[in-house]
A and B are shown apart, each in its own frame.
Chain A
Amino acid sequence: MKIAFASGKGGTGKSTIARTFANYIAKDKHVSLIDADVEEPNQLLFFKASTTEASKPVSLPIPVIDNDICSKCGACVKFCNYNALSLNKKGVTVFPELCHACGGCSMVCPINCISETPHEIGETTLAHNKNISLIQGKLAIGSSHATPLIEELLKRAPQNKTTIIDSPPGSACSLMAVANAVDAIVLVAEPTPFGLANLETVVDVCEELELLFGVVINRCNMGNTCVLDFCQKHDIEILAEIPWYYDVASSCQPISQLESHFNTQNNPMQKLAEAVSKWEAEC
């Protein structure tokens, strides 16, 4: 089963909870943890890898125009919806950073003077430790192609029975790239008006895509009851509530200290695991 940890707002604790949950369920099975927050991946920093494989580049095919034979008809420029091409008397200029690699320009070129070359948009890195395989995607500096990188990252991820995806924040295209590939989504929210406003946007996405989802309230000992009230009103399941601890926030330890606060009677990770098993049964 593939489960994404997402939130409308950055900094709600997606990565921390995804990592803690991965550690929790990795006690008795293999888990893949995917860091899909490709603009600012950080799971590797907190992961005690026993082996780390060499990073592999991710590229998009970008057009190359042979301006020596180009007839300067402008068909490719007219076709490009992303303004990645321009034509002047010297020929066609390509702006790789704007190209979405649709391949349309080479299809419409009447004299076939367009070929393609790989343009690097980022890389993926695979690391292992005991039962956890972590794969991280990292966007190249200056690149805005998060979506195709995430799609490739998900393809390269080791196939395990349980896959946990640390999603990028927000409710835009990069979340969509993750949402399209998962069975269920855990929405992490803070119990504040700001947290609620951002939660509402991702709840809209999940409902629109008819996804299985539930909410984890992080830092539940802060803020107010607005997220709780919202979830009750809209009949959204609260999967777990996790308090804020000073030592966890201040430590930034490679291995999560969060779990050390949980006792067997009241472990949010156990509650989350139970919710996931229930989803598994539904799928």
Chain B
Amino acid sequence: MKIAISCKGPSIDDSFDSHFGRASYFQIFEDNKWHSFDNRENANAAQGAGISTAQSIIDMGVDVIITGSLGPKASRVIADSDIQVFLSDLPSIKENLLQFAPKLGLSITPETMEAKK
């Protein structure tokens, strides 16, 4: 399962970004490993940032998105996929994963999260 969390910076210690299309980075969690996706090209688009970000997320094969809010256009792109979306306002990336992991049937503890990369 591939989980994408919108983030303000390239590290998982950077804070959660409540924006979806205009988030600079996404922290991707898969098989107990983290990696970072640089979304700045999409985020800086003059128009349709939500659509192009959603497109990148789909192309990456993401299964779950955790973000603050999803605009109407990004929602339309995501709605026709099998991606699950969780809206959150928790300030850190790790807290967000811990919060939603049980709903996804994942058993994640702060320790397993640290043992990645």
Q: Write the nearest CB–CB distance from B99 to chain A, whole angstroms.
A: 27
Report the bound CA distance from A89 to B82 in whole Å. Answer: 9
Q: Chain A, interface size: which category?
A: 10 to 19
Q: Write the nearest CB–CB distance from A77 to chain B, whole angstroms.
A: 7
**Given the known A-B contacts A77-B55, A87-B55, A88-B58, are A82 and B80 also in contact in the complex, defined by CB atoms under 8 Å?**
no
Stretch at the interface among A47-55, A90-98, A248-256: A90-98
Which chain B residue has the least Cβ–Cβ distance from A97? B73
Q: Is A112 an interface residue (CB 8 A)?
A: no
In chain B, residues 28-42, which have Cβ atoms closer than 8 Å to a Cβ of chain A?
Answer: none
Can you list 30 A-B contacts with CB-CB less than 8 angstroms, sorted by A residue number?
A: A77-B55, A82-B47, A82-B48, A83-B47, A83-B48, A83-B52, A83-B55, A84-B48, A86-B51, A86-B52, A86-B55, A86-B58, A86-B76, A86-B77, A87-B58, A88-B77, A88-B80, A88-B81, A89-B80, A89-B81, A89-B82, A90-B80, A93-B77, A93-B80, A95-B48, A95-B73, A95-B76, A98-B47, A98-B48, A98-B51
Report the bound CA distance from A24 to B58 in whole Å. Answer: 61
Q: Is B66 an interface residue (CB 8 A)?
A: no
Q: Write the nearest CB–CB distance from B44 to chain A, whole angstroms.
A: 12
Which chain B residue has the least Cβ–Cβ distance from A83? B48
Report the bound CA distance from A88 to B80 in whole Å. Answer: 7
Residues of A within 8 A of B60 (CB): none
Q: Is B45 an interface residue (CB 8 A)?
A: yes
Q: Write the nearest CB–CB distance from B75 to chain A, whole angstroms.
A: 11
Partner among B45, B58, B76, B80 whose Cβ is within 8 Å of the Cβ of A83: B45
Q: Write the nearest CB–CB distance from A147 to chain B, whole angstroms.
A: 13
- Name which of A83, A87, A93 has the most chain B CB atoms within 10 A of its CB: A83
